[in-house]
Structure 1
């Protein structure tokens, strides 16, 4: 028996809707169609995400996007078997939009709904790629305010090996970019500028690189970037590309070496990289080279699925249902979890 799952993502500043269909032969569920609207242009004027504006924009976008994916896939709303939505973590107001729409659709159709963990969506998003991973594996999850290394033995079977104790890698990119006057969103702008710079131009710290554990800390790096920018003063503009490249190199080195340490600690030979920072070209290059030397397979989401999207929510729901970790519910009262640790997920979540 196959299931057609409509996934809705609205945790922050992207509205995503997708259709995923499970396979009767037990193969990885198939992505039939997905659509995404980014709010980047709207938030640029404010230098960051404005929660109230984000929520209002989700309300405007979610149903037209749902109509789009249904039309592109040749499916009808009545064909949907389960409506999945992001329950958390994220912005409370934004989450409530997706949850409310999903539960209203479920109630109207008489179909069950399923709340999905946003980070689990990222974690399982490489299963949407042309080269899906196999369990078990080590996962480097680098999404927004989260940087974690995890042991993943199956759907819902996660063990945190290390995580950030302050700023995450994505925050280090964004905050450093802001210090350099690169605007919003800062991370991609910094990475693009870094391509023109010298990564060895400035000696920046690699926090916790030799700590002996798998935790991360990037707050000190952000402070070092601020200090260096102040030292440069009027010379910052012509040296900005070098500072960007040096900043990116410091973040990537920590991520790569900690990931290799996690692989050594667990004895695994497979690693999955997921989340927005997973699209970083320098990170992919360095990690690919390091893992090739150690005969480790590396898996990533497709580049267009690294950001928040409905496809990862629908896929996570499909894999949860197939594994028996969770059942969809015909109860349409809902809540959201703006703060929701990934390792707290169980079959009864």
Structure 2
């Protein structure tokens, strides 16, 4: 039987530094004790995107203060930590190395084992932290900044990829389209907010691979279509894109969002039909999109299918999902923490190659 233990999780794959503490019981779901997160968005806005070197340096500044905050908020001390988990990949190499280095150094100092976690598995299992956790098996729609995947999930470590993006992911489509509309980085949330006052049928934009017969995604062509339509609008109004009326920009945003959401929803429903499963899990940053949630909720209610999401504040990258994934892997026997502090990271690491 697995012993109860306390798992400290560190996330540093890109532009958020996250630390969390999870209590893993011998039986039942792990419980989140505390978590803290620092976003680098403001720092990267001046450059219009993430600058890897700046991201790595900022992780160094933030990770230990965040760890101290989590321990204080949870009422625990370092002595109570039984396992130190960290994001091993995928992500920015330099950023990953910061989290891995701190985790392994801390574990070595405490004489405790470490465990490297797959970033996407963290997102995939993050709905288990919600007040309405799912049950296995289920279809998962994983939609983060750089990944769009549909998979069948039969248990921890048992993942079958049903379809994935062949170029731009949904999150990239949101961000790149937002940039074309002149919105500040990161543009996905700004585009979604602007879309609330727009007409989603104002412009006819493509739904790539919607009728492809498979479950793969492609959003690069949509980005190109947004660029062309934005240029047409600017020409028609005799002005630069930045000077277009807000109502026009809102219609462009709403039409773009509608195209992305329709593809995600219909592919998800097709995956449920093909697998025969009656449970859908949505995870990753795009999973916080209000329109996506509304449409999935409506369609799943119609089909009498359950749909689960992580809490909104846990959709972004965070330490809680890393600690949770580590605890569930330990609890399920999929992996063991080790007292080997010679670490490496995997900037590119397919989820179906996660291994034990």
Q: State the TM bucket, normalised to the shorter chain.
A: over 0.9
Q: Distance in 1 between matches of 2:39 and 2:337?
A: 28
Alignment of 1:248-263 (within 5 A): 248-263=257-272
Identify the residue that residue 81 of structure 2 maps to in structure 1.
80
Distance 2:298 2:182 in 1: 32
Distance in 1 between residues matched to 2:299 and 2:219, nearest whole Å: 22
Structure 1 unaligned runs (5+)? none
Residue 120 (structure 1) shift: 0.1
| RMSD (Å) for aligned C-alpha atoms | 0.6
The match for 1:269 is: 278
Q: Distance in 2 between matches of 1:189 and 1:3?
A: 41
**How far 1:161 sits from its partner (Å)?**
0.1
C-alpha displacement at 1:104, in angstroms? 0.1
Which residue is equivalent to 2:337? 328
- Work out whether 1:28 is the aligned partner of 2:29: yes
Tell me the residue number matched to 2:127: 126
- For 1:156-171, what aligned pairs fall within 5 Å after superposition? 156-171=157-172
Give the distance between the partners of 1:57 and 1:232, measured in 2 at CA: 40
Per-residue CA deviations over 1:300-348 (Å, capped at 9, x if unaligned) read 000000000000000000000000000001000000000000011122x
| Counterpart-to-counterpart distance in 2, 1:284 and 1:28 | 25
1:55-134 equivalent positions in 2, closer than 5 A: 55-134=56-135
Corresponding residue number in structure 1 for 2:151? 150
The number of residue pairs the alignment matches comes to 346
CA distance in 2, matches of 1:6, 1:55: 20
CA distance in 2, matches of 1:159, 1:346: 13
Match of 2:48 in 1: 47
> Which ranges of 4 or more aligned residues in structure 1 deviate by more than 2 Å?
none
SS in 1 for 2:150: strand
SS at 2:25 equivalent: coil
How do 1:173-322 and structure 2 match up within 5 A? 173-233=174-234, 235=237, 236=241, 237-238=244-245, 239-322=248-331
Contiguous gaps of at least 5 residues in structure 2: none
SS of the residue corresponding to residue 49 of structure 1 reads coil
| Cα shift at 1:23 | 1.6
**Alpha-carbon distance in 2 for matches of 1:271, 1:75:** 35
Return the alpha-carbon distance in structure 1 between the equivalents of residues 59 and 219 of structure 2. 31
In structure 2, the residue matched to 1:345 is 354
Distance 1:323 1:345 in 2: 15
CA-to-aligned-CA distance 1:159-194 (integer Å, 9 cap, x gap)? 000000010000000000001110100100100000
Deviation at 1:131, TM superposition (A): 0.2
Measured after TM superposition, the shift of residue 122 of structure 1 is: 0.1
- Matched residues in 2 for 1:274 and 1:158: separation? 15
CA displacement 1:90-118 (0-9 Å, x = unmatched)? 00000000000000001000000000000
Tell me the distance in 1 between the aligned counterparts of 2:355 and 2:335: 8
Q: CA deviation at 1:129?
A: 0.2
Once the two structures are superposed, residues 9-29 of structure 1 have per-residue CA deviations (whole angstroms, 9 ceiling, x without a partner) of: 0000000000000123x1110
Displacement, 1:259? 0.1
Of 2, 5, 12, 1:3 maps to 5
Q: CA deviation at 1:78?
A: 1.0
Distance 2:219 2:190 in 1: 18
In 2, distance between residues paired with 1:41 and 1:345? 33
Provide TM-score, normalisation by structure 2.
Answer: 0.97
Aligned residue for 2:281, secondary structure, equals strand
